[in-house]
Structure 1
Amino acid sequence: MATSNAITQVVSPAQRAASEQDSPDARVEHGPASRSQCPECDGDVVTQDEESFCADCGVIVAAEWVDRSPTLVDLGMVGDASKSIETVNPLRTDKGLHTKFSLGTDGYGNSLSDPQRRKFRRLRKRHRRYQFGAQRKRTKRLNEGLRDVEMIGGNLALPDHVVETAAKYLREASAARLPGGRMAWESLAGGAVLLAARTSGLTRSDIDVAIAANAKATHERVCAAARKIRCGCGVDAPPVRPNATQAVVDALDDALRGGDAVRIWRMARQLLTLGDDVPVGPGTPRLTVAAAAVYAADRLTSGKSLTQQQVADAASTVVPTTKSKIARYNCKLVDAYVARHGTEDPNVVLEREPAAPA
Structure 2
Amino acid sequence: MAVEWVCERCGLVVRVEDVDLKPTLQAHAPTTSGRIGEWAVEPVDHLRVDKGLVTTFFLGSDGKGNSLSPTQRSRMGRLKARHKRFTMADKRDQRLNEGFHDIRLLGANLGLPDHVLGDAARYLKAASDAWLPGGRMAWESLAGGAVLLACRETSFERTPAEVAEYTKTDEERVCAAARKIRSEAGLEAPVVRERAVDLVVEGLEQVGVELTLRQALELVRVADGLLDVADAVPVGPGTSRMTVAGAAVYAADRLTEGKWLIQDEVVAAVEVTLPTSKGRIATYARELVAIAERERPTAAQMVQAD
Compute the TM-score of the two structures, normalised by the length of structure 1.
0.69
Q: In structure 2, what is the equivalent of residue 200 of structure 1?
A: 154
Cα contact 2:293–2:299 (8 A) shared by 1: no
The AA in structure 2 aligned to 1:318 is: T
Aligned equivalents of 2:105 and 2:55: distance in 1? 18
The AA in structure 2 aligned to 1:348 is: Q
> What displacement does 1:279 show?
0.5
User: Is 1:229 equivalent to 2:211 in the alignment?
Assistant: no
User: Is 1:167 equivalent to 2:124 in the alignment?
Assistant: no
Aligned equivalents of 2:92 and 2:218: distance in 1? 47
The AA in structure 2 aligned to 1:142 is: L
Q: In structure 2, what is the equivalent of residue 127 of structure 1?
A: 83
> What displacement does 1:324 show?
1.2
| 1:77-92 matches, cutoff 5 A | 84-92=40-48
Tell me the secondary structure at the aligned position of residue 80 of structure 2: helix
Unaligned ranges ≥5, structure 2 = 1-22
Aligned equivalents of 1:72 and 1:172: distance in 2? 26
> What displacement does 1:157 show?
1.1
> What displacement does 1:308 show?
0.7
> What displacement does 1:352 show?
3.6
Q: In structure 2, what is the equivalent of residue 220 of structure 1?
A: 172
User: Is 1:178 equivalent to 2:135 in the alignment?
Assistant: no
Q: In structure 1, what is the equivalent of residue 142 of structure 2?
A: 188
The AA in structure 2 aligned to 1:335 is: A
> What displacement does 1:292 show?
0.7
Q: In structure 1, what is the equivalent of residue 223 of structure 2?
A: 268
Q: In structure 2, what is the equivalent of residue 319 of structure 1?
A: 274
Q: Which of structures 1 and 2 has the bigger CA Rg? A: 1
Residue deviations 1:188-246, cap 9 Å, x none?
A: 111011101111143x4x52211111111110111111111111123222210001001
* 1:232/1:73 CA distance change after superposition, 3 Å: farther
Compute the TM-score of the two structures, normalised by the length of structure 2.
0.80
Q: In structure 1, what is the equivalent of residue 15 of structure 2?
A: none
Residue deviations 1:52-82, cap 9 Å, x none?
A: xxxxxxxxxxxxxx9615128559xxxx965
* 1:130/1:81 CA distance change after superposition, 3 Å: farther
Q: CA RMSD in A?
A: 2.7
Aligned equivalents of 1:83 and 1:137: distance in 2? 31
Cα contact 1:220–1:319 (8 A) shared by 2: yes
> What displacement does 1:149 show?
1.0
Q: In structure 1, what is the equivalent of residue 27 of structure 2?
A: 70
Cα contact 1:288–1:326 (8 A) shared by 2: yes
Cα contact 1:292–1:327 (8 A) shared by 2: yes
Once the two structures are aligned, what percentage of the paired residues are identical? 44
Cα contact 1:101–1:124 (8 A) shared by 2: no
* 1:282/1:111 CA distance change after superposition, 3 Å: same
The number of residue pairs the alignment matches comes to 274
| 1:332-347 matches, cutoff 5 A | 332-339=287-294, 341-343=295-297, 345-347=298-300
Unaligned ranges ≥5, structure 1 = 1-65, 354-358
The equivalent position to 1:112 in structure 2, one of 37, 61, 70, is 70
Q: In structure 2, what is the equivalent of residue 293 of structure 1?
A: 248
Aligned equivalents of 1:81 and 1:352: distance in 2? 65
> What displacement does 1:260 show?
2.1
The equivalent position to 2:54 in structure 1, one of 83, 97, 111, is 97
Aligned equivalents of 2:249 and 2:145: distance in 1? 25
